[in-house]
């Protein structure tokens, strides 16, 4: 991957933009510290506009029991095209996700009046974003919110692929804090980012805290997860459904002793239709298969780590799951697209312990080997566990420890 140089005119401009935003945050931080010294709690908002990318449950839970913080989840509307609304209901799905789990939240959109909530009307001190895009301009976007609140970002996916959108958007350099999952990524971002990662801190990845908080023991692992990606075109090109989808279905039919769970990317169904891979009717039939068998299921929510803990195998061409599944210790069949963007430094380290297949023949052979109980790369995966930080250390604790230190300074 070609790395940008800080000396380019574009990056020089971005570097000064970053300085201007940090100067703004310096003034905001002074106000918050004054309030903290007078015994006020710090109001923290977690903005969510796609529940499948919700990754801060452990941070929210820990702040909820701290006397220093007053945290709230705000469910916001993400603008959708007519075609997207056919495959995902969006805002109502997101509200239902939290409601069904008895997690209180603030509605960021009123369907009756079609009015989106101005986040600053809630007078937040710190606002956490779950993804860089999809926020209503002038009400929820970082340019607006940063006028009177500190902004922070916990990436919705682990950065394992060569994707500049993980670090090179204007959003990233305008953040007060950009929390990273690991030291490998931090080392890369210090070279790649226009601000040399000055606003980045390594804390670990909060979504992985569920492996610690909800640890399962002595699980009879009989679940196989199939997680297809949506990127048939574009900058990533990870999707392999065109050659692997039918084979996966054959494996499902021939191996009823396992529970096969479909965990598709949120845009997978939409892209199947948009890219003319399947018709709308064919797509509905394909998805229906996963709900009609006794040994199949579909999982679409953002709280999927417990599912990972039950699995004996992940079959995927997705991106973030490559890192998020790793702490389970179980094998992964990585469905590889030779035209993909390729894996970055972190991704290359992680996939050393995975079974990479490029062809239907490779997939058949690899699946047969793993279902027989063999796992030649098991020890490689064990050695790679250090990538995810110190065993038993929660990312949420590190994030809150950092914020505590800054506010109480």
Spatial separation of the C-alpha atoms in residues 182 and 204, rounded to whole Å: 6
Which two tokens mark 80? Answer: 């959708």
Structural domain boundaries, residue 132: 9-204+391-407
Are residue 173 and residue 297 in the same domain, yes or no? no
Segment 200-244, tens digit of pLDDT: 999 999 999 999 988 766 667 799 999 999 999 999 999 999 999
CATH number of the domain within which 50 lies: 3.40.50.2000
Are residue 200 and residue 294 in the same domain, yes or no? no
- Asked, for residue 115, whether it belongs to a domain, the answer is yes
Spatial separation of the C-alpha atoms in residues 345 and 188, rounded to whole Å: 8
- Asked, for residue 22, whether it belongs to a domain, the answer is yes
Are residue 200 and residue 244 in the same domain, yes or no? no
- Asked, for residue 344, whether it belongs to a domain, the answer is yes
Are residue 186 and residue 71 in the same domain, yes or no? yes
Q: Are 396 and 205 in contact (CB under 8 A)?
A: no
Segment 131-154, tens digit of pLDDT: 999 999 999 999 999 999 999 999
Are residue 140 and residue 180 in the same domain, yes or no? yes
Are residue 306 and residue 373 in the same domain, yes or no? yes
Average pLDDT of the segment spanning 37-59: 96
Are residue 17 and residue 145 in the same domain, yes or no? yes
pLDDT at residue 172 above 70?
A: yes
Spatial separation of the C-alpha atoms in residues 275 and 393, rounded to whole Å: 42
Are residue 225 and residue 371 in the same domain, yes or no? yes
- Asked, for residue 3, whether it belongs to a domain, the answer is no
**Cβ burial, residue 247 (10 Å; 0-12/13-18/19+):** middle
Instruction: Give the residue carrying structure tokens 């290359």.
Output: 348
Per-residue confidence at 392, pLDDT binned at 50, 70, 90? confident
Q: Determine the pLDDT at residue 1.
A: 45
Q: Could you tell me which residues come within 8 angstroms of residue 176 by beta carbon, excluding any fewer than 6 positions away?
A: 21, 22, 25, 126, 146, 150, 151, 152, 199
- Model pTM above 0.85: yes
Of the listed ranges 72-81, 226-235, 259-268, the least confidently predicted one is 72-81
Are residue 325 and residue 395 in the same domain, yes or no? no
- Asked, for residue 1, whether it belongs to a domain, the answer is no
How many domains does one find in the chain? 2
Segment 80-132, tens digit of pLDDT: 776 666 566 689 999 999 999 999 999 999 999 999 999 999 999 999 999 99
| Nearest-5° Cα angle at 255, 253 to 261 | 80
Q: Are 25 and 176 in contact (CB under 8 A)?
A: yes
- Asked, for residue 4, whether it belongs to a domain, the answer is no
């Amino acid at each position: 991957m070609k790395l940008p140089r800080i000396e380019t005119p574009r990056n020089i401009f971005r570097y000064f933009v970053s300085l201007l935003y940090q100067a703004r945050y310096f003034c905001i931080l002074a106000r918050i510290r004054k309030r903290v010294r007078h015994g006020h709690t710090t109001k923290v908002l977690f903005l969510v506009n796609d529940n499948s990318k919700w990754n801060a449950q452990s941070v929210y839970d820990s702040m909820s029991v701290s006397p220093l913080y007053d945290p709230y989840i705000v469910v916001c509307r993400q603008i959708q095209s007519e075609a997207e609304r056919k495959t995902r209901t969006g805002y109502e799905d997101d509200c239902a996700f939290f409601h069904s789990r008895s997690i209180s939240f603030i509605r960021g959109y009123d369907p009756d009046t079609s009015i989106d909530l101005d986040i600053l009307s809630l007078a937040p001190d710190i606002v956490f974003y779950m993804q860089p895009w999809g926020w209503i301009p002038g009400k929820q976007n970082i340019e607006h919110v940063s006028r009177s609140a500190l902004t922070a970002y916990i990436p919705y996916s682990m950065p394992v692929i060569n994707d500049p959108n993980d670090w090179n958007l204007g959003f990233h350099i305008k953040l007060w804090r950009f929390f990273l999952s690991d030291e490998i990524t931090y080392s890369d971002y210090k070279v790649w980012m226009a601000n040399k990662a000055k606003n980045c801190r390594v804390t670990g990845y909060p979504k992985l805290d569920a492996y610690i908080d909800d640890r399962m023991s002595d699980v009879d692992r009989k679940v196989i997860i199939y997680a297809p990606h949506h990127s048939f075109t574009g900058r990533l090109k990870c999707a392999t459904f065109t050659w692997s989808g039918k084979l996966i279905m054959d494996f499902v039919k021939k191996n009823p002793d396992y529970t096969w769970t479909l965990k598709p990317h949120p845009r997978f169904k939409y892209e199947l239709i948009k890219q003319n891979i399947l018709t709308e009717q064919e797509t509905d039939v394909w998805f229906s298969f996963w709900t009609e068998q006794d040994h199949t299921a579909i999982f679409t929510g953002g709280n999927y780590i417990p599912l990972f803990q039950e699995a004996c195998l992940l079959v995927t061409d997705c991106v973030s799951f490559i890192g998020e599944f790793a702490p389970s210790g179980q094998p992964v069949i990585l469905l590889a697209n030779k035209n993909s963007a390729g894996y970055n430094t972190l991704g290359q380290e992680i996939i050393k312990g995975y079974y990479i297949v490029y062809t239907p023949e490779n997939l058949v052979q690899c699946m047969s080997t793993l279902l027989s109980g063999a796992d030649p790369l098991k020890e490689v995966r064990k050695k790679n566990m250090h990538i995810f930080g110190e065993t038993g250390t929660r990312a949420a604790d590190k994030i809150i420890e950092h914020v505590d230190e800054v506010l109480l300074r």
